[in-house]
Amino acid sequence: MDDLSFERKRRLLSLQIGKSMHEVVNLMSVLNKNMEGINGVGKEFENVASLWKGFQDSVLEKKDSDMPDAT
């Protein structure tokens, strides 16, 4: 009787572990898709960021050239 109870509990735990692992795999897939989406959105802003960086550099360059030398 004790062996039968052990086998039943072991089978139940194995099924629960299997279901949990399946859920983890599914959630990891969802996470992966979300991370890919975030990465895609970030890449969309690279051109805009580059444009603004060029603008900032040109403004700072102009500002530096307008300042008289202290020497």
Tokens found for residue 60: 């700072």
Q: What would the two tokens of residue 44 be? A: 């969309």
What kind and span of H or E run contains 51? helix 46-66
Question: Residues 1-52: pLDDT tens digits?
Answer: 688 999 999 999 999 999 999 999 999 999 999 999 988 888 888 888 899 9
Evaluate if residue 70 carries a pLDDT over 70. no
CA dihedral 9→14→19→22, nearest 10 degrees, is 170
Give per-residue pLDDT as tens, 17-29: 999 999 999 999 9
Q: Residues for the chain: how many in total? A: 71
Rounded to two decimals, what is the model's pTM? 0.56
